[in-house]
Structure 1
Amino acid sequence: MNSIKKGLGILWLILGPVITYFLIMGAIHNIDPDGKKDINNPVIWIIIITIFLPIAIGLMIFGWYALKGEYSQKTADQ
């Protein structure tokens, strides 16, 4: 079980920057001053990035602790 936790820790460490990259690239791609839809408004993207960036950072922190073994099962001797 501990090896699964460490493996998922690596996954979460990779997933955090990937999510951040796609958020920023989505904002760059969709912001258009001539666009009439809500998705083209930069304020909407600032709000989206402000909400999801701490979640991505939290995933990376959680992954780091899982990789270090902080969530490992302790034996009765410890």
Structure 2
Amino acid sequence: MMNAIKKYIGIVWIALAAAVAYYSIGIFGGKLTSGKQDDLVFGIIIFFVLLPLVVTGLTIFGWYAMTNEYED
């Protein structure tokens, strides 16, 4: 029972990673093209530092939950 729940939660984590990537690009995409220097710096930090870390972390966590890596 618990393993099935872990697998479903793994799918939720991976879907959450995709949603975060999609909405972050939609929301912070305007920061890169606004023309203001402050927005450009903020957008670059979000896109090239924080977004890959968050999406990769959620995806790996979801993958491990789906493949029962947390069994031990």
TM class by shorter chain equals 0.7 to 0.9
Partner of 2:43: 45
Closer, same or farther in 2 for the Cα pair 1:28/1:55, shift >3 Å? closer
Flag the structure with larger Rg. 1
The structure where helix makes up a greater share of residues is: 2
Amino acid at match of 2:34: D
Aligned pair count?
A: 69
* Matching of residues 51-70 of structure 1 within 5 Å: 51-70=50-69
User: Deviations 1:3-42 (Å, cap 9, x if unpaired)?
Assistant: 1111110001111121011111112234412x6xx5xx12
**What amino acid sits opposite 1:32 in the alignment?**
S
**Taking every aligned residue pair, what percent have the same amino acid on both sides?**
38
What is the aligned-residue RMSD (CA, Å)?
2.0
Aligned pair partner of 1:32 in 23, 31, 34 = 34
The whole-number CA distance in structure 2 between the counterparts of 1:28 and 1:48 is 10
Is the contact between residue 8 and residue 66 of structure 2 (CA under 8 Å) also seen in structure 1? yes
| Uncovered stretches (5+) of structure 1, i.e. residues with no partner | none
8 Å contact kept, 1:16–1:56: yes
Rounded Cα–Cα distance in structure 2 between residues aligned with 1:69 and 1:12 = 14
Q: TM-score, normalised by structure 1?
A: 0.71
